[in-house]
Amino acid sequence: DAGVIQSPRHEVTEMGQEVTLRCKPISGHDYLFWYRQTMMRGLELLIYFNNNVPIDDSGMPEDRFSAKMPNASFSTLKIQPSEPRDSAVYFCASSPGQGNNSPLHFGNGTRLTVT
Amino acid sequence: QQQVKQSPQSLIVQKGGISIINCAYENTAFDYFPWYQQFPGKGPALLIAIRPDVSEKKEGRFTISFNKSAKQFSLHIMDSQPGDSATYFCAASYDYKLSFGAGTTVTVRA
């Protein structure tokens, strides 16, 4: 099992540019989560999907952020336009979803720097 | 607004010592309390978890103590080893949504 795969590992972009982060969840996992980690705010849940359908996007900071899950093996988080305050590590996680206590399996994250 | 408050922010312990991390919550809807361990450059990984109907859970050198009436729970790392040096996050969950504490960086000195 390769685990949750995120790409790219690092992304440096200029303010105003579009950024797309990618995630491949563990096969067979029905839930996919996007988290953001910063020193100031810690780990924040942005959005999560169940069977490719967005369930709760209340953590998405603003309309510049959007997430999609076109199929069970792929999800994207897009920021357009990007701003320096978006600089953070973005994690994708998946879960088999067998009840609320199913463990989350995190990828190794994408470190985004917006200059 | 952090739904789970975690302390201390960091701690240093000698090899063989005990590390203790404390967390508190307010939302009584939380029904699952996991701890995650994170190494630099990696994502958090589940370490141990407890449900509120249990007061203590032990897995190897790691023990969770849970006090439902006080809405507090803690992680004890016994016989701390240099390989335990990492950041530890407590979390609380309901409806598939995990809220994380701010994290505790543990350094184990050999």
Task: Say which residue the tokens 């701003």 belong to.
Answer: A83
Rg of chain B, C-alpha, whole Å: 13
Cβ-Cβ contacts under 8 Å, B46 against chain A: 103-105
Contact A45 B44 (CB under 8 A): no
Chain segment B1-57, per-residue pLDDT in tens: 679 999 999 999 999 999 999 999 999 999 999 999 999 999 999 999 999 899 999
Q: In the prediction, which pLDDT does B106 show?
A: 98
Nearest CA in chain B to A30: B96
For A:8-47, CB contacts with B below 8 A are: 31, 33, 42-43, 45
What single DSSP character describes residue B107?
Answer: E
CA–CA separation, B108 and B110 (whole Å): 6
Asked whether the beta carbons of residue B96 and residue A95 sit closer than 8 angstroms, the reply is yes
Please give the mean pLDDT across all residues of chain A: 94
Q: What whole-number distance in Å separates Cα of residue B64 and Cα of residue B35?
A: 9
Contact B10, B104 (CB under 8 A): yes
Residues 6-45 (B) with a CB less than 8 A from some CB of A: 31-32, 34, 41-45
Residue A29 pLDDT class (50, 70, 90 cuts): very high
Q: What share of chain B is helix, strand, coil (3-state, %, to 5)?
A: 5, 60, 40
Give the residue, A103 or B47, on which the prediction is more confident. Answer: B47
Written as six digits, the tokens of B89 are: 């996050």
CA–CA dist A12, A53 (Å, integer): 29
Full strand arrangement of the beta sheet holding A74-79: A5-7, A19-24, A74-79, A65-71
* Residue-wise DSSP of B31-60: -BEEEEEE-TTS--EEEEEE-TT-SEEEET
Task: Return d(Cα B46, Cα A93) in angstroms, integer.
Answer: 12
- Which of B85 and B31 is assigned the larger pLDDT? B85
Distance CA B95, CA B98 (A): 9
* pLDDT of residue A100 exceeding 80: no
Residue A11 structure tokens? 């992304």
Residue B94 pLDDT class (50, 70, 90 cuts): confident
Residues of A in contact with B101 (CB under 8 A): 42
Distance in angstroms (rounded) separating the CA atoms of residues B100 and B84? 20
pLDDT digits (tens, 9 = 90+) for A42-83: 999 999 999 999 999 999 988 999 999 999 999 999 999 999
Segment among A22-31, A91-100, B2-11, B74-83 with least mean pLDDT: A91-100
Count of other CB atoms within 10 angstroms of residue B24:
17
Would you state the pLDDT for residue A1?
64
Which amino acid is it at A34?
W
A4 to chain B: nearest residue by CA? B43
Q: Mutation test of the interface with chain A: which of B6, B27, B98, choosing the one with the most A Cβ atoms within 10 A?
A: B98
Counting every residue written for chain B, the total comes to: 110
Q: Are A93 and A29 in contact, with CB atoms under 8 Å apart?
A: no
CB < 8 Å from B in window 47-66 of A? 48, 50, 55-56
CB spacing of B2 vs A42 below 8 angstroms? yes
Nearest CA in chain A to B90: A43
Token pair in block for residue B33: 């309390």
Q: What is the pLDDT of residue A101?
A: 75
- Chain B residue numbers touching A43 (CB-CB < 8 A): 44, 89, 100, 103
